[in-house]
Every structure is written in C-alpha cells, then in structure tokens.
C-alpha cells in the first residue's frame, strides 16, 4: 500500500478508505475500513489480512479554503430585451466558473464575464455565479437582483458600460445600458484618432495593430466616457 494526497474542501467532510482486509488500525484509533474526517493532517492505517500479514498506508490531507466572489458588476436596472454584460471579481484562484440566469438567457461567457439577454415579459431577473478551485471546491453562489423595465422608462447611462471581449481580436462589442445613438472615437497611445464610428454597439478593429488603445464613447444625452482596450 502506498501514500496518497487528499484534498478537503473547507467546512466539508472527507472519507478515507482502503481495500478490504481482516483488521484495520487507524492513527485516530478507528478500526473500520473507512473513516470520515473534517480537518487537514496526516492519517495512517495499518491493515492485516487473514494470514496475519500487515501493511500500511498514509494519507496526507490538505484543506482547501472556500473561494470567495467579492462583487459582481453590471447593470442592475435594464430595459426589456436588452443585452448586458456582467463581470465578477475574486482575489482567490479558481479554474471553473458556473453562471446561472433567471429571467433571461446566457448568450456567452468568457471566464469572469458573461453576456445576458433579458426576457421581454418579466419585471425582475437574477444573475448568479459560483467558482470552483482545481480541487473542485466551490464558492457560495453570488447573486444580484436585476430590475427589468420597459424601454420608455429607461435612461441611457454610461455607468455599467463594458467592452467585450477585452483583449479583443477582430471585433469589439460595447455592452451595457445605452441605446445605439452614440459616437465612438478610437485613439492610439500617442493620442492620435485612428478610427471613428457612430450609432453602433460593435466595432471592426481588425485593421488595428497589436497594442493598447483608448475608446471615447459619447451617447445621445451628451454623456461621454473613455475606456482602455487591448488589441491582440
């Protein structure tokens, strides 16, 4: 029998087991074929078969802290049938992301960001996300309540605008709570305007070289904001 590393998610239980033998003697004084533990440490067992031959195994158990989602950014007041982007923030390492949407459809997701299309016949929605470590230990599900309004009561805003994907390849999408009455100017790193467009939420940036650019977005109510994006 050989040693084996095991991973225990925080606040959970883990079962350690060995093959079937005549007797078992664990380092925590248990005498069953398997034990259930709730903490990290080194656990060993000595087994004996029906011929009185003995063998031993050691399990080193590492406790994995629960990953935490700190916040979820994106529009909390949206219009019917609008397409919005949401992005979560976590300081912990993770390998898997699971998104869940109520009152809308998940159009796409790119690790920490998701694009959602909100339904036409609902007044309230919810966007939720959880993350998992490489050992499959999950965070608590983090959810935000979304208010879904009719178009006539909705005021265009720059507060929750996001660029997606960022970094981008050939296309850059502008997602958030705004209409398509806008003006877009793209500047290089020395302040030269190299691209402009109007009344669109999608930009063809295939002609741009790899590097960092600034996008100035101005919407119909006169508000403007500058964003940084990276061209692959």
Q: What pLDDT is stored for residue 1 in this prediction?
A: 58
pLDDT along the chain (232 residues), means of 10: 81 94 96 95 95 94 96 86 87 94 91 88 92 95 89 56 85 72 86 88 90 87 83 91
pTM recorded for the entire structure: 0.65
Q: What pLDDT is stored for residue 157 in this prediction?
A: 59
Q: What pLDDT is stored for residue 28 in this prediction?
A: 95
Q: What pLDDT is stored for residue 83 in this prediction?
A: 82
Q: What pLDDT is stored for residue 2 in this prediction?
A: 57
3-state secondary structure the chain: CCCEEEEEECCCCEEEECCCCCEEEECCCCCCCEEEECCCEEEEEEEECCCCCEEEEEEEEEEECCCCCCEEECCCEEECCCEEEEEEECCCCCCEEEEEEECEEEEEEECCEEEEEECCCCCEEEEEEEEECCCCCECCCEEEEEEEECHHHCCCCCCCCEEECCCECCEEEEECCCCCCEEEEEECCCCCEEEEEECCCEEECCCCCCEEEEEEEEECCCCEEEEEEEEC
Domains and CATH numbers, the chain: 4-64 (2.60.40.10), 66-154 (2.60.40.10), 156-232 (2.60.40.1930)
């Amino acid at each position: 029998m050989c040693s084996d590393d095991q991973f225990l998610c925080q606040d959970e239980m883990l079962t350690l087991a060995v093959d079937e033998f005549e007797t078992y003697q664990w380092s925590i004084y248990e005498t069953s074929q398997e034990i259930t533990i709730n903490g990290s440490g080194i656990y060993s067992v000595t087994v004996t078969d029906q011929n009185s031959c003995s063998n031993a195994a050691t399990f080193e158990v590492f406790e994995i802290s629960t990953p935490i989602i700190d916040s979820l950014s994106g529009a909390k007041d949206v219009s019917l049938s609008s397409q919005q982007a949401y992005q979560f923030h976590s300081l912990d390492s993770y390998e898997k992301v699971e998104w869940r949407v109520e009152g809308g459809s998940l159009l796409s997701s790119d690790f920490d960001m998701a694009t959602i299309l909100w339904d036409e016949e609902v007044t309230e929605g919810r966007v939720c996300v959880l993350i998992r470590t490489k050992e499959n230990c999950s965070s608590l599900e983090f959810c935000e309540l979304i208010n879904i309004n009719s178009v006539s009561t909705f005021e265009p805003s720059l507060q929750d605008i996001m660029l997606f994907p960022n970094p981008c390849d050939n296309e850059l999408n502008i997602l958030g709570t705004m209409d398509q009455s806008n003006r877009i100017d793209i500047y290089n790193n020395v302040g030269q305007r190299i691209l402009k467009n109007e009344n669109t939420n999608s930009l063809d940036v295939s002609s741009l070289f790899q590097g960092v650019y600034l996008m100035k977005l101005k919407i119909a109510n006169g508000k403007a904001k500058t964003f940084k994006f990276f061209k692959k």
